[in-house]
Amino acid sequence: MKVIRNINNNVAVCVDDNNHEVIAFGKGIGFKKAPYEIELSQIDRTYYNLDPHYVSLLNELPEDVLEVSYEIVKKGSAYLKVELNRTFWFSLCDHINFAIENCKKGLVLSNPMTNEIRHLYEKEMLLGKWAVKHIDRRLKIRLPQSEEANIAMHFINAKQEVKKNDEKDDFEHFVEDITDIVESEMDIIIDRSSFSYSRFVTHLKYLLKRTNQMSKDFSDNIKMYEDVYQKYPELRKVIEKIKCYIYSELNIEPSKEELLYLMIHINRLCAKEGL
């Protein structure tokens, strides 16, 4: 890999063998005057397509703050057993540097949510305490106690963001698979921009959220389900496939009421396709 610009002693802008620009991190890789070649074994981690805002942060933040922040992120990821967003490190760096600057000025900012965080997010709070001690050990700067909660809050938000992304991926996979089943069994191509499909997706979203109640039949609509099930063999076939899919993915058998709603939405989709 070729270094084309140094950011600091341990960070450099490089180009790979495909001539793609990449930000590379590694002990001492930015020490020499660019341009020059470095071995891949010298690189600890890389960032492609990094937002210019983050690149400017690398130019502004002290190397020791960058390093200790990365150590805190690694510790936090392992302790919380979560793969955090790779750019989370930059926001934590920025916060820790801001806290250090305030500390040096004698400015102490309290966190009114400290008690709430301590009771609701015990693990994250312990991580925040460890981080403050680690900064003291490594940088000889004792941050105020409020920073334990502030750092904990950063990890809480990062975990929630990861959860949102995971749920989004699961949902998109769930919807696409069921859509494929409908298209295959009903021999149609669904217009994914149509309002009918949007309503279909919305129903699947709520269905996925109600998985803990899906096995319960408590509605007067059960008889209607039986009538539709017997009257429309095409819908019966596709609904059986969907029921098997939901069971295999969620290990729960959907209720007849849920299946009735699905049949109604599928019937609307088919009607829109001219069937």
pLDDT in tens, 40-95: 899 988 888 888 878 888 888 898 999 999 999 999 999 999 888 888 888 899 99
Contact 54, 90 (CB under 8 A): yes
**Hey, which residues does 46 pair with through a beta bridge?**
24
* 51 CB-side CA count, 13 A: 8
Q: How far apart are CA 233 and CA 65, in angstroms?
A: 66
Distance CA 158, CA 181 (A): 35
Q: How far is CA 126 from CA 82, 89, 141, in A?
A: 16, 19, 19
Residue 104 and residue 140: Cα distance in Å, rounded? 12
CA distance 46 to 16: 11
Confidence of residue 274 (pLDDT cuts 50, 70, 90): very low
pTM value is 0.60
Please report which confidence band the pLDDT of residue 225 belongs to, taking 50, 70 and 90 as the band edges: confident
Question: CA 267: distance to chain centroid?
Answer: 34
